[in-house]
Structure 1
Amino acid sequence: MERLIELFVATILNHNIALVYILGMCPLIAISTSVKNAKSMGIAVVIVVTLTGIINYPIYLLLKQTETTSLALLVFIITIAATVQILELLMEKFVPKMYNAFGIFLPLITVNCVVLAVSLFFVTREYTFSETAVFSFGSSLGWMLAIVLIAGLREKMAKHADVPRGLKGKGIVFVLLGILALAFIGLTGLASI
């Protein structure tokens, strides 16, 4: 249990998938224009990453048993796309309000490299099922934390900061990401993966 808690803390803080491993930058930069958008995308990523990590684990075990692990990447991509599609259909049918709130964010997750990276990480690190579930959930929460932090900083800077013309827009986002990455990397040693 202690190992799972340490893994969970590490995935959110000092092994943050966005700020330490620099994954999922395209949607993070593009969608962090407002905290509302960031939260919506973050929630969608948490759901999809956690589900696909949990689904891909037994699939990988089956591939390992049949000695076809070379197909893992392809199978993981198909699983991710199918999970997003099924989730989208279920939400449209049973929770249309939430489905409408997510809008374009849900289909965009299919191409977010964080989703695939989490599945590849649990394979290379040889996690157990419980470690995979915790890693998937924690990593997606870490990504959500990063996008909400960036969105909050962008909103505050738009109101209160005089950003130089050459850094306005995405330029300042890269500066903010660099500063946040340094801060999160500074937590190294807090917990290990």
Structure 2
Amino acid sequence: MNGDTIKGLVSIFLAAILTENYILNKFLGICPFLGVSKKLNTAASMSAAVTLVMVIATAATWPLYYGILVPNGIEYLQTIVFILIIAALVQLIEIILKRYMPPLYNALGIYLPLITTNCAVLGVTMLVIDKHTAAPDSFGFIQALVNAFGSGIGFLVAMVIFAGVRERLETADVPKCLRGLPITLIAASLVAVSFLGFQGLVDGMLG
């Protein structure tokens, strides 16, 4: 790889984590963000599972889309096919965790199978197709995998940060009218706003 290629991959990776964060910027995957972020360990474990599904799903759906759907003119089946692939991957991970990591399986509970309907995972697999369509010469399969991995790390960063915030809120003196969901949503919005400042940082590092 030449310097420009590496720089491009770094740009995609950092952007997926900071400036194009699927939770805090695109507002996808909000359900697990609010539901599994009460404890740091659970949030990190859920994020690791989501990252794994994002990367594997992208690796499976990209060649399937360009190798089967596009040549046969059935691109309109993209959403259905991608959801089926993601559901199969999540089922496989669920079986593995249930057999080899029961405590983690029990801690994730209902949120593990909900990865199947996690719009962040589906969004990653579909948006990389859009990015390739917009810039076919600069965004290919490798870039799609880097984007998926970066998106998963971005998911992890958002979850871990918000889990830390929520743990602090447990001991904070919150007004009675804001306790529970209201203060959670306020904290989530402040975390999302804080990520806006990374745009200049990423541009400066890669400029």
Any conservation in 1 of the 2:45–2:104 contact (CA below 8 Å)?
no
Kindly indicate whether residue 183 of structure 2 is the aligned counterpart of residue 172 of structure 1.
yes
Look up the SS of the partner of 1:20 in the other structure: coil
Q: CA deviation at 1:187?
A: 1.6
**TM-score scaled by structure 1?**
0.91
Q: Which amino acid aligns with 2:182?
A: G
In structure 1, the gaps of 5 or more residues are: none
Aligned to 2:19: 14
Q: 1:6 to 1:112 in 2, by over 3 A?
A: same
**TM-score scaled by structure 2?**
0.85
Query: What is the aligned-residue RMSD (CA, Å)?
Result: 1.8
**Of 165, 169, 174, the match for 1:163:** 174
Matches within 5 A, 1:110-129: 110-126=116-132, 127-129=139-141
Q: 1:163 to 1:84 in 2, by over 3 A?
A: same
Any conservation in 1 of the 2:18–2:195 contact (CA below 8 Å)?
yes
Look up the SS of the partner of 2:183 in the other structure: helix
Which structure would you say has the larger RCO, counting Cα contacts within 8 Å and 6 or more residues apart? Answer: 1
Any conservation in 2 of the 1:150–1:173 contact (CA below 8 Å)?
no
Larger Rg: 2
Matches within 5 A, 1:44-193: 44-62=49-67, 63-94=69-100, 96=102, 98-100=104-106, 102-126=108-132, 127-159=139-171, 161-191=172-202
Of 89-98 and 173-182, more deviation after overlay is shown by 89-98
Q: CA deviation at 1:128?
A: 1.0
In structure 2, the gaps of 5 or more residues are: 1-5, 133-138
Count of aligned residue pairs for this structure pair: 191
Q: Which amino acid aligns with 1:59?
A: L
Identity over the aligned pairs, expressed in percent?
37
CA distance in 2 between counterparts of 1:92 and 1:48 reads 16
Any conservation in 2 of the 1:44–1:102 contact (CA below 8 Å)?
no
